[in-house]
Amino acid sequence: MKKKLIAANWKMNGSLQANEALTRGLIAGLGAPTCEVALCVPAVYLAQMQDLLSDGTMSLGAQDISEHEAGAYTGEISTTMLREFGVRYVIVGHSERRQYHAESDALVARKVQRALAGGITPIVCVGETLAQREAGQTVEVVKRQLAAVIHANGHCISEIVVAYEPVWAIGTGKTASAEQAQQVHAVLRLQLQAATAHAERVPIVYGGSMNAANAAELLAQADIDGGLVGGASLKVQDFLSIVSCAAQ
């Protein structure tokens, strides 16, 4: 069985002081985790976090990258820059970026290409809105989002992480039931299998109000290989509980 991945998405939260307290608390409580743990932090804190994570217990992640390598792109951050800070993962295509920054499927696919070319593992987010779910379009939407990434990345697709994050479950306290999540994960797994002989290698993690109370059931599903955790990743005990569910 492959190791599960629990990735924290701190979003636009943190301060030098809060990051240090949270990270030291996690390191003290983690011991030697039997799953992979990553912290995806705001870019301005990468240097601080590289230092705090230098013992290697947890991996460092970023929350976005530019589709470009360098040049006149004010405000953007390249893969090469992230690599200088030991970044191993980058979230790409989070629904908040698709929604507030108009990121299209095509742009997300190009960012994934850029991350893979630069040796950083993209955590590619897909997920439907409530209106899309209610209209019965969940499968169509997530397949379309993943298809764009598969199309642009060919055989490299086995090097990505997929995060299924139903938009209606993000930050709302409404989690997809384990059954609802598993159904979508199974669809994504089949889609990956059609694209690569190494689909089993691709972790498909769940995100959307994952917490200490619901993590065990979600993580017990056949095709749920971990979690992308927002709100609960900002609290030491909650995040440690989720990690311990994944470590079983």
Q: Spell out the alpha helix ranges (H) of the chain.
A: 16-30, 46-52, 79-84, 95-100, 105-117, 130-134, 138-153, 178-195, 215-219, 236-246
Shortest Å distance, C-beta 127 to ligand PGA: 9
Shortest Å distance, C-beta 165 to ligand PGA: 6
Comparing CB distances to ligand PGA, the nearer of 98 and 114 is 98
What is d(CA 7, CA 165) in angstroms, rounded to the nearest whole number?
Answer: 13
DSSP string of 46-57?
HHHHHHHTTTSS
Interface mask toward ligand PGA for 169-198; x: CB under 6 A:
-xx---------------------------
Q: What is the DSSP letter of 13?
A: -
* Binder among 229, 236, 240, 242 for ligand PGA (CB under 6 A): 229
Comparing CB distances to ligand PGA, the nearer of 79 and 209 is 209
**Footprint of ligand PGA on residues 208-227 (CB under 6 A)?**
208-210
Comparing CB distances to ligand PGA, the nearer of 13 and 57 is 13
Q: Which of 36, 94, 128, 185 is catalytic?
A: 94
**165 catalytic, yes or no?**
yes
User: Interface with ligand PGA by CB under 6 A: which range of 23-31, 126-134, 201-209, 240-248?
Assistant: 201-209
* Binder among 4, 5, 6, 9 for ligand PGA (CB under 6 A): 9
Q: Please name which of 140, 137, 82 lies closest in space to residue 111, comparing C-alpha atoms.
A: 82
Comparing CB distances to ligand PGA, the nearer of 77 and 170 is 170
Question: Does 61 engage in binding with ligand PGA (CB under 6 A)?
Answer: no
How far, in whole angstroms, is CA 89 from its chain's centroid?
A: 8
**159 catalytic, yes or no?**
no
Joined tokens for residue 228: 């992308």
Handedness of CA 184, 111, 11, 227 (dihedral sign): positive
Burial of 155 (0-12, 13-18, 19+ CB in 10 A): exposed
* Chain positions contacting ligand PGA, by CB under 6 A: 9, 165, 170-171, 207-210, 228-232
Catalytic residues: 94, 165
